[in-house]
Chain A
Amino acid sequence: MYRALVGIGVLCGLAIVTVFEATRSVIARNQAAALERAVFQVLPEAAASVTFGFAGDGFEIVDGEDAADGERVWAGYDADGRLVGLAIETSGMGYQDTIRLLYGYAPERDAVVGIRVLESKETPGLGDKIETDPGFLRNFERLVVALAADGASLAHSIEVVKPGDKTEPWQIDGITGATISSMAIGDMLRRSTEVWIPRLSLHLDDFASARADDAATGATGSEAEDV
């Protein structure tokens, strides 16, 4: 009796390990590709992107998986190698589960220029409007995150207002029927931008020079395939 159970258990274990090994590289590639696509979606003007990691006193190019998730940013460059924006990942609690979000920040325009939900389990038909509602997504075409005079904080924190009440460029119109999910997006963006925007503004030169080095060596950059 035990022999039969153990024997079948061993066979099943072997089968799982085989499939896991066979699919691991494909899955990792799929995930990297999905992130890559998201970077170009939140930075519409970008033609190429380079991954950077935050090293405490500045940003350095990293090779994909090296940096911890929370400390990575993706710099997007246009065809001439000019920095057009930075993509930053953030996450927070939604209505059902954690929402993971990527947003694009354009330093020249002092604004968030696009968001893309990477992972969410929000209620289909209600909470998932954060991904599909055109009116809501229009908030993020130009959501102002200008720095305050001291350069260490934002002049105005991002805030979510009732649908249709948006009067200032740093406000987000919520969604009727998806109040909690849209508030969650606003909260995540507010917390993340308060930390990242001052930090990025301080080290903007790191990204400009890195592109020149990178173009010379042709190292870790990746090109947009179909934008």
Chain B
Amino acid sequence: MSDTHLAGAAGPSSTDEFVKGLWRENPVFVQALGMCPVLAVSNTALNALAMGLATLFVLVMSNAVVSLLRRFIPKQVRIATYILVIATLVTIVDYAIQAISLELYRALGAFISLIVVNCLILGRAESFASKNGMGRSILDGLGMGIGFTVALLALGAVREIFGAGSLFGVQLFHDAFQPWVMMILPSGGFFTLAGWLLLFNWLRARAEISNTATSADALEATP
């Protein structure tokens, strides 16, 4: 993954830290991390958005805290410490969501506490925040979190449109539309995810082919 980005080294620019999570290293479509909430909570666009934002918040905060404490955390207990930090943040989010809206809390239910074991968050803490400064870690968290939210939303929108005939609760089709219930169930999550992965991999393969083609052209042109 991003083990090559070392602190202080003349590595990628700040913009790059932010942008990589959106596309090139998208946590869902490229790294395939955090699949549990991706499959479970993406049955409607609203649930997906709420879950994405909750994860985004926890990810940014945990990256910030881990990066801040990285010099004080002994190597032997670093994973335990990361989990402690993440669990605290998730508990805070849990109470905050209950205070904001009970309806939303009912919809997300058990999955909020499961953010703790979302390997995306622990993965970023271990592979990025523990080696980089606070600013970069926050940018990395923002990028990854937004990439995760967008991916979740992409799944949620497709599943809600086919499975319930609506988007964000707004009815899209005539009453005669027979919802494709399978899409809301877990199996629909797998199919939708597979579809998006297929599209993403196809796009990436095409981009690579055109990249090698242009560099080959450049090589030919130089001598």
A69 to chain B, nearest CB (A): 17
* Residue B96 CB within 8 A of the other chain: yes
A177 contacts B98, C-beta separation under 8 Å: no
B91 contacts A16, C-beta separation under 8 Å: yes
A177 contacts B181, C-beta separation under 8 Å: yes
- With both beta carbons as reference points, the residue of chain B lying nearest to A25 in the complex is identified as B99
- In the bound assembly, the distance between CA atoms of A170 and B169 in angstroms comes to 33
A125 contacts B164, C-beta separation under 8 Å: yes
A119 contacts B73, C-beta separation under 8 Å: no
* Residue A5 CB within 8 A of the other chain: yes
B81 touches which of A8, A26, A126 (Cβ 8 Å): A8
Say which size band chain B's interface belongs to: 20 to 34
* Residue B53 CB within 8 A of the other chain: no
A113 to chain B, nearest CB (A): 24
- In the bound assembly, the distance between CA atoms of A119 and B107 in angstroms comes to 10
B179 contacts A125, C-beta separation under 8 Å: yes
* Residue A34 CB within 8 A of the other chain: yes
- In the bound assembly, the distance between CA atoms of A212 and B69 in angstroms comes to 63
B99 contacts A4, C-beta separation under 8 Å: no
* Residue B85 CB within 8 A of the other chain: yes
Cβ proximity bits A1-28 to B, threshold 8 Å, 1 near / 0 not: 1001100110010011001100100110
Cβ proximity bits A164-196 to B, threshold 8 Å, 1 near / 0 not: 000000000000010000000000000000000
* Residue B177 CB within 8 A of the other chain: no
B72 touches which of A4, A9, A30 (Cβ 8 Å): A4
B185 contacts A125, C-beta separation under 8 Å: yes
Chain A contacts for B96, CB-based, 8 A: 19, 23
- Chain B residues with CB under 8 Å of chain A are 43-44, 69, 72-74, 76-77, 80-81, 84-85, 87-88, 91-92, 95-96, 98-99, 101-102, 106, 109-110, 163-164, 179, 181, 184-185
Show 7 residue pairs from A and B whose CB-CB distance is below 8 angstroms, ordered by the A residue: A4-B74, A4-B77, A15-B88, A19-B95, A20-B95, A23-B96, A125-B184
Nearest 9 CB-CB pairings of A with B: A125-B184, A12-B88, A23-B99, A26-B99, A1-B74, A23-B95, A19-B92, A27-B98, A125-B181
